Amino acid sequence: MSSLSGVRANPVLRVLFVLVVVLLTVLVFQVVQRQNGSTPEPTLPSAQLQAELVTAPTGAQPFSRDAYGPDGLLDRDQFVGHLFVQSGQAAERSNLDSEGFKYAAEVNWNAPDGTQAAVFLAQFAHSSGAKDFAASVAQATSQQQSPATPLFAVDGVPHAQRWTAGRLDHEGDVWQQAWLIDRNIVANVHYFTAGSPDTPGLTRLVTAQYARLQAATATASPMPTASPTTPTPLGGAKPASAGPADQARLQGDLVAPPSGSDPWPVDDQNGPVGVLTLPQFMKRFGADDAKARITDEQVDRGFQYAVRENWTDANDEQADLQLIQFAGTAGAQSFLLDCQASVKAEVGSADVYDVPDSGGATAYIHPELDDQGNRWTEAYLAVGNIAVELDSYTPTNIDRDSLTALLQQEYTKLMADPTVAAAAKAAPALPSADPS
């Protein structure tokens, strides 16, 4: 008699056999579920998920940069709206549904040193969904951004990946991202720095967020103190030469003041002329609370030195002209884009015009008189790794002809300098507006 026949003849053995079959069936079902990633795993309540976010550095302020909205808890549609361009949002909503997305939490800030960050924690029902989301988004970011740039590991953080954009964004910043997975939670870190990437800063931020998730407590930890780093020009280009001979050469590229003009008096507000160090360059920025941030941003951009001259001509029209050299073209473009964004927010689009035959210079007319009763126009231009800044003051009407002629002459002189012309030829085009 077979063993199965013995089971069928014995009621007790028959019951035990049925129980074994049921248990085996349940175990097989659970294994299949785990392989398919469909088994729900413990999840953090939304309030605790938000508490697991790193906290902003001391003195930081929230920011709203493009689609990054106010921080807090996000449902699926809000999460998609913050992270993905509009043309791809429908597909991303479908992907998140299939991956078991539940909710997300966000914190963002503008730090006192000028860096900006947005950190997202996305809670999924199971770890396989978290892994699928992180892997697919990281790969798409690496391959679909222009130019395509590779993914790298994050030192000291298991299975984390980081990415650095290959060009400036439309605000003059370098965008970096990182993705890390802790069980069924994905941390997505966005980090922005002026003009050059800051991989050590990104790594500190990712490491702090990983430590928070590993600690699994409801008390958020402060960000670690940043350490000074020497920026590398975007793309790893060799920094421009900035010795005394280079400074003398660039000073010679300044347009000569008109005949009969007088230099401005040097005082605490105007600062010196000639070759300027960074502290001397910063003297023209009056607000002490902004000087530290602006100084840090120029360091990030690779500021090397500036040359400056100013004058008041026979018609009481004044000009203040500066050529600012950065280690690479990205620094000059970042300075240009940042200045343009700031002044455009003040004057509006009605008083903005392109200066013809000047290499792409743009002028911005302030609607109000300054404290001396003058009309003030700012103009900006980037030529290779040189940023050009011109401030023009006229006692009555705006003198567009004089400003145009001055910028055309300055652009011509810079392009006649072989060093500047070579950098200008190799410079990438300025970024356009961010896609929506």
Query: What pLDDT does residue 389 have?
Result: 97
Whole-angstrom distance, CA of residue 317 vs CA of residue 157: 59
Nearest Cα to Cα of residue 307 among 414, 230, 399? 414
Query: How much is the pLDDT for 29?
Result: 46
| Structural contact between residues 165 and 178, judged by C-beta atoms closer than 8 angstroms | no
β-bridge partners, 394: 375
Q: Determine the pLDDT at residue 37.
A: 46
3-state secondary structure 228-294: CCCCCCHHHCCCCCCCHHHHHHHHHCCCCCCCCCECCCCCCCCCCCEEECHHHHHHHCCCHHHHHHH
Tell me the HSE value of 354 on the side-chain side, using a 13 A CA sphere.
5
Residue 346: CB atoms within 10 A of its CB come to 12
pLDDT in tens, 61-70: 888 665 566 6
Residue 276, pLDDT score: 95
Predicted local confidence at residue 23, as pLDDT: 61
Which pLDDT does position 225 carry in this prediction? 52
Q: Which of 312, 320, 318 is nearest to 260 (CA)?
A: 312
Quick one: three-class SS letters along 71-122? Answer: CEEECHHHHHHHHCCHHHHHHHHHHHHHHCEEEEEEEEEECCCCCEEEEEEE
Paired strand residues for 181: 186
Tell me 160's DSSP state.
Answer: -
Q: Which helix (H) or strand (E) holds 345?
A: helix 329-347
Asked whether 106 and 151 are in contact (CB, 8 A), the reply is: no
Residue 324: partners with Cβ closer than 8 Å, 6 or more residues away:
281, 303, 305, 306, 332, 335, 386, 387, 388, 389
Q: Which of 195, 431, 191 is nearest to 301 (CA)?
A: 195
Helix axes 89-99, 127-144, angle to 10 degrees: 150
For the chain, list residues with pLDDT below 50: 1-9, 26, 28-29, 31-33, 35-37, 218, 227, 435-436
- Global confidence as pTM: 0.77
**Cα 386 from chain centroid (whole Å):** 21
Q: Which residues contact 25 (CB under 8 A, 6 or more apart)?
A: none
74-86 burial, b at 16+ Cβ within 10 Å, e below that, comes to bebebbbbbbbee
Which among 262, 310, 300, 261 is positioned nearest to 278, based on CA atoms? 300
Distance, CA of 383 to CA of 371 (rounded, Å): 32
Token pair belonging to 260: 């009969």
Domains belonging to the chain, first-starting first, are 46-215 (3.40.1000.70), 236-426 (3.40.1000)
